[in-house]
Amino acid sequence: MKPQRRHFRYNGGQFDKGSRHAMRYLHFLLWPLKFILFAVLFAFAMHNAEMVPLSFFLGYVWNAPLALLLLIFFILGASFGLLACLARLARLRREVVTLRRELRNRNPATRPVISDVPHDAF
């Protein structure tokens, strides 16, 4: 008989009972970390509140606070990064769909035998 584990264990979309109890306390421990991160970012924005010129083509200049410009370009960069990942994600999802369809269409005699015993069992 195996000893029952009480650490964070992921079981196909569900956490076991011990990890749910621990996750509730971990959630409360994250609030001070979120507050500290917000305070540091707010202080950074306040220290960089001076107006800076952003020069475009044809002599157009936009004056805005440095923190605002940094935030705008950070959001734009993150958005472009996510858009770049979407093409690969869509391709991988299509591949998974075709592989599942192929597995479903196999004859029952050619399907691989999957045992109920885990690989790390003694």
* Cα–Cα separations (whole angstroms), residue 108 to 12, 86, 98, 111, 115: 25, 35, 18, 5, 15
On whether residue 22 sits in a domain, the answer given is yes
Confidence band, pLDDT 50/70/90 cuts, at residue 26? confident
Which range marks the domain in which residue 68 is found?
Answer: 10-105
Q: Pick 95 or 68 by higher pLDDT.
A: 95
Its pTM surpasses 0.75: no
Domain total for the chain?
1
Q: Given its phi and psi angles, is residue 58 left (phi above 0), alpha (psi -120 to 50 degrees) or beta? A: left
On whether residue 100 sits in a domain, the answer given is yes
On whether residue 115 sits in a domain, the answer given is no
Chain segment 70-88, per-residue pLDDT in tens? 889 999 999 999 999 998 9
3-state helix, strand, coil in the chain (%, to 5): 65, 10, 25
On whether residue 23 sits in a domain, the answer given is yes
On whether residue 77 sits in a domain, the answer given is yes
